[in-house]
Structure 1
C-alpha cells in the first residue's frame, strides 16, 4: 500500500502573492529570468524550488521537534537540561513523485527515532498536496 499526502484546495490568491514576493526580490527575479528561457527550463526551475522548499520545511520541522535550530548551541544546551537529550542523527535521501517528476529530498533523522515529519509522511511516495 502506498501512502499519499492529503490534497488541499488550490488558492490562486496565495499563488499570486507568492509570485509577487518572488519577483520583488531582484536576485530571485534575475535567477528566474536566467533559468526559465523555455517551458522545460521553467518546469526544472519549479521542480528545483519545490525540492528546496520541501527540504527547508523538513529542517524546520526537525528544529521544532528538537526545540532548537541546527547550529543554535545555546538553545540546545537549555533544551537538553530540561529534557532527555535527543540530537540530529544525519539524514537520508528519499525519492518522491510529484507533478514535476521525481524529487530527491533529504529526510532528517533524530537519534531517538521519534521524528515523524508532517510535510512528507513516513512511507509517502507521492506528493499530491504539492501538485
Structure 2
C-alpha cells in the first residue's frame, strides 16, 4: 500500500522523486503522515505522502 501511495503521488505531480523538473514547479512533495488501521488480520501501518498544493 505504501508503494502504491508513492506511485500515485509521482503520477499526480508528473515527475519522479528527486527529479530536477520538480524544482520550483509550484507543487512538490511535502513529507508523509502516518496512520494505523486495525483490521481483523492485524494492524496496517500506512505512510501517506503529502504534496504542497492539494487539489481536491
**Greater strand share, 1 or 2?**
2
Structure 2 counterpart of 1:110: 51
Could you list the structure 1 runs, at least 4 aligned residues long, displaced by more than 2 angstroms after superposition: 97-100
Q: Which runs of 5+ in 1 are unaligned?
A: 1-53, 117-131
Q: What TM-score do you get using the length of structure 2 for normalisation?
A: 0.79
Name the one with the larger helix percent.
Answer: 1
The number of residue pairs the alignment matches comes to 55
Structure 2 alignment gaps of length 5 or more: none
TM-score by length of 1: 0.38
Higher gyration radius (CA): 1
CA-based RMSD of the aligned residues comes to 1.8
Distance (whole Å) between structure 1 residues aligned to residue 52 and residue 31 of structure 2: 9
